[in-house]
Amino acid sequence: MTRVKRGVIHSKKRKKVLRQTKGYRGGRGTLYTLASEALKKALFSSYRDRRRKKRDFRRLWITRIRAAAAKEGLSYSRFIQGIKKADVNINRKILSDLAVKEPGEFSKLVKLAKKELKEQACPRG
């Protein structure tokens, strides 16, 4: 059987890893073993945090809505309940944007939510 030398594949694999870890501090960017460990950890973190980012943004939006609704004298949960009763289909991202950039429009939504909650508490009839 003929002898197979893997020099090209071996060096290509190492170069690829070192190219991806360019800019890392110390040996993590220059030494293959440290670089490959750092790269595995970085790739895992980026995979995990792409999912995590969605949660973080939702928490941010809820915090902004809660603060804006509190200024109007309504809790977050009651505000969401009120706009759902009023059949307002606006997601939390847009509500948060309104709360920050258009406080006047947001206060109209809060008034609408309060009105719906009042009607729910004492129905006509």
Q: Residue 87 is part of which domain span?
A: 11-121
pLDDT in tens, 90-103: 999 999 999 999 99
Q: Domain containing 46 — which CATH number?
A: 1.10.1900.20
Q: Is position 64 within any domain?
A: yes
Neighbours of 85 (CB within 10 A): 15
- Dihedral of alpha carbons 52, 27, 24, 9, sign: negative
Average pLDDT over residues 58-71: 96
pLDDT for position 28: 95
Q: Is position 69 within any domain?
A: yes
Please state the domain count of the chain.
1
pLDDT over 60 at 81, yes or no: yes
pLDDT for position 62: 97
SS3 annotation, 10-79: HHHHHHHHHHHCCCCCHHHHCCHHHHHHHHHHHHHHHHHHHHHHHHHHHHHHHHHHHHHHHHCCCCHHHH
Q: Is position 93 within any domain?
A: yes
Q: Is position 15 within any domain?
A: yes
pLDDT for position 124: 62
Average pLDDT over residues 6-14: 88
Average pLDDT over residues 69-77: 94
Element holding 99 (H helix, E strand): helix 92-101
Q: Is position 115 within any domain?
A: yes
- Dihedral of alpha carbons 7, 10, 14, 16, sign: positive
Stated pTM of the model: 0.76
Q: Is position 4 within any domain?
A: no
pLDDT averaged over the chain?
Answer: 92
- The single-letter DSSP state of residue 86 is T
